[in-house]
Amino acid sequence: MQDRQYGKLQPVAKAILSPLVRFGWRVHAEGVANIPTSGGAILAPNHISVLDSFFVPLVLPRRITYVGKAEYLDDWKTKHLFPAMGMIPIDRSGGDSSARALDAAASVLRAGELFGIYPEGTRSRSGKLHKGHTGVARLALRTDVPIVPVGIVGTVEVQPPDATLPKPFMEVTIRFGEPIDVGRYRGRSGDRMILRQITDEVMYNIQALSGQEYVHSYATKTPDMMPAATTRIPVSEPDATTLPPAVGPVPERSEMPRRSSAAVLASRPMVDLTHLG
């Protein structure tokens, strides 16, 4: 299978890079026990730095494949490193190339492996958490796998947007939240409101893990110059006041209970990169 070429050198790359990372940065992983020990699962992190796709695989106990913009293959610094670390390049102009990338993602998940996808679609230039695209929900429903929300903190300080080289000796924290089971929506991948509700739940949990301010707009390639519309994650589209009876009524935002991801993580010991084989 063609997508298996991506990430085939990940164990070797981790063995070589882990000592360098331990020397260069203080990297911590929290909630690693929330990652399924077997079977397919989607990891859905926030995206604040080009180095997110570099640090996350290094702290995982399992191999991961993920999508990244095809432009990374045009840069000599990432042309060979990112595919070795498991990146499947995606043409963000859409069309058949995007469809092929998502087909590759589905094949990875059906093979029982981990797959990472950034719901924001691109890096946040403002440092805020942006509205998620529904592709993560569509992929989870298509393959019937859970979604693990991931909050990344500190990588933007290591390498801010437009910086040429990373800054050493800084701290990075990666938090893995409780898996989100989409099984209750099985067979409803064509329902736009369901896709939005799942995606908003994912973004709500990412916000709890990363501590970012939320902006109810999609991320762009330029810094956000407008004030944040809200710091809360909406549970549905503004025009979707109700959901089909099988789902039940949507609670008001003020009544929406927070998931227990943060509480669970607070009770778990921090795992330092030095303890990760």
User: What pLDDT does residue 228 have?
Assistant: 41
- Quote the tokens at residue 60: 């995982």
113 pLDDT more than 90: yes
> What pLDDT, on a 0 to 100 scale, did the predictor assign at position 36?
97
pLDDT over 90 for what percent of the chain? 48
pLDDT surpassing 60 at residue 174:
yes
C-alpha 38/C-alpha 62 separation (Å) is 9
Report, at the CATH architecture level, how domain 2-267 is classified. 3-Layer(aba) Sandwich (3.40)
Q: Which residues are CB-neighbours of 214 under 8 A, at least 6 positions away? A: 128, 129, 130, 203, 207, 228, 230, 231, 232, 233
| pTM confidence score | 0.74
**pLDDT level of residue 270 (50, 70, 90 thresholds):** very low
How far apart CA 40 and CA 189 sit, in angstroms, is: 18
Q: What confidence score (pLDDT) does residue 250 get?
A: 41
State whether residue 1 is helix, strand or coil: coil
The confidence band for 101, taking pLDDT boundaries of 50, 70 and 90, is confident
Q: In the predicted model, is pLDDT for residue 7 greater than 70?
A: no
pLDDT at res. 87: 77
- Higher-pLDDT residue of 272 and 104 is 104
Ranges of each domain in the chain: 2-267
> Which span out of 72-76, 124-128, 175-179, 188-192 was modeled with the highest average pLDDT?
175-179
- Most confident range (mean pLDDT) of 8-17, 124-133, 253-262 is 124-133
Other C-beta atoms closer than 10 Å to the C-beta of 157 total 15
| Confidence bin at 248 (pLDDT 50/70/90) | very low
